[in-house]
Amino acid sequence: MTDRAPFLIVETGHPVGSLKRYGRFPHWIRVAAGLAAREVAEVNAVRGEPLPAPDGVAGVIVTGSAAFVTDRAEWSERTAGWIREVVQEGTPLLGICYGHQLLAHALGGEVDYNPAGRESGTVFIDLHPPAFEDPIFAALPPRFPAQATHLQTVLRPPEGATVLARSEQDACHAFRWGEHAWGVQFHPEFATHHMRGYVRARADCLRNHGRCPRTVAREVSAAPQARQLLRRFVQHARGQHGIRAGAPRTDRG
């Protein structure tokens, strides 16, 4: 079988301690996306590992994190600059949770604490009309469940972005910038045991925001439609990589 271009997963954080036995975020994403280990390359941005040129990769996926974009950490700002270059060059990219917020920040949007407070558990995502013609959202129902856990959010999407989805607490749960860059605030890679683990880990914060952790945990349910997004992104990026690889080169002098 001919080797296919890998997907680059940029690691921006790690799971809460109680979930580390399930592996790191890149593993969760790879499994949910249906990718074999040989089809994935990883780089840990937090540890300062060099962010490679996207030449030769089919697409980029940026993970979630417990960090805050508003802290403007050196590694985060450096990653934001790299993301901006990658998407401006047309490489398909999907940012998840922190990755979603970092993509918005990199392109000039505004990220800060959600005025509605912590959003956690299985939430319902409502699509906006542009999503029905979007390459990775089009096959999804107008309303579907997804797993979410976050305090910060995209308050103002980047100029030129198309907002694709919202939830009761978050007006920008997904957006597309250009033709091949997406951010999703929810976690398509989370299974129910991941989500319940996060609810337990964030129990005190939930109480501080007027939520009952036991109720939130009890209401966690499967979110297969949200999970489909990862595989649809992979399919889209594979198709685009084939187009890019087959495009004739033009000399610039």
What are the pLDDT digits (tens) for 107-139?
A: 999 999 999 999 999 999 999 999 999 999 999
pLDDT in tens, 20-29: 999 999 999 9
Query: What is the pLDDT at residue 5?
Result: 87
Length of the chain, in residues: 253
Nearby residues of 155 by Cβ (< 8 Å), 6 or more positions away? 109, 110, 111, 112, 114, 172
| Inside any domain, residue 250 | no
| Inside any domain, residue 251 | no
With b for 16 or more beta-carbon neighbours within 10 A and e for fewer, the 36-63 pattern comes to: eeebbbbbbbbeeeebeebeebbbbbbb
Q: Where are the beta strands (DSSP E) in 85-221?
A: 93-96, 110-113, 119-127, 143-150, 152-156, 162-166, 174-177, 181-184
Nearest CA among 134, 91, 117 for reference residue 207: 117
CB 218 within 8 A of CB 23: no
User: Does 250 have pLDDT greater than 50?
Assistant: no
Query: What is the pLDDT at residue 1?
Result: 35
Residue tagged active-site, from 180, 189, 194, 236: 189
Nearest CA among 100, 68, 60 for reference residue 187: 100
| Inside any domain, residue 253 | no
User: Does 252 have pLDDT greater than 60?
Assistant: no
Domain total for the chain?
A: 1
| Average pLDDT over all residues of the chain | 94
Q: What's the start-to-end Cα distance of the chain, in Å? A: 38
CATH number for the domain that contains residue 228 = 3.40.50.880
Structural domain containing residue 56 = 7-244
What value does the mean pLDDT take over residues 66-70?
97
Spatial distance between the Cα atoms of 18 and 76, rounded to a whole number of angstroms: 25
Nearest CA among 216, 14, 207 for reference residue 97: 14
User: Does 244 have pLDDT greater than 80?
Assistant: no
| Inside any domain, residue 75 | yes
Is 236 catalytic? The answer is no
Residue tagged active-site, from 14, 97, 100, 150: 97
| Helix or strand (DSSP H, E) at 99 | helix 98-106
Query: What is the pLDDT at residue 20?
Result: 93
Q: H helices within 107-160, ranges in order?
A: none
Spatial distance between the Cα atoms of 154 and 233, rounded to a whole number of angstroms: 21
pLDDT in tens, 178-220: 999 999 999 999 999 999 999 999 999 999 999 999 999 999 9
What value does the mean pLDDT take over residues 153-163?
98
Chain-centroid distance of CA 73 in Å reads 19
Is 187 catalytic? The answer is yes
Spatial distance between the Cα atoms of 230 and 208, rounded to a whole number of angstroms: 33
Is 189 catalytic? The answer is yes
| Inside any domain, residue 211 | yes
| Inside any domain, residue 207 | yes
User: Does 3 have pLDDT greater than 50?
Assistant: yes
User: Does 247 have pLDDT greater than 70?
Assistant: no
Query: What is the pLDDT at residue 245?
Result: 56
Query: Angle, nearest 10°, between helix axes 25-33 and 224-246?
Result: 80
Residue tagged active-site, from 187, 194, 236, 241: 187
Position 242 confidence tier, pLDDT thresholds 50, 70, 90: low
Amino acid type, 2: T
User: Does 253 have pLDDT greater than 50?
Assistant: no
| Inside any domain, residue 59 | yes
Query: What is the pLDDT at residue 56?
Result: 86
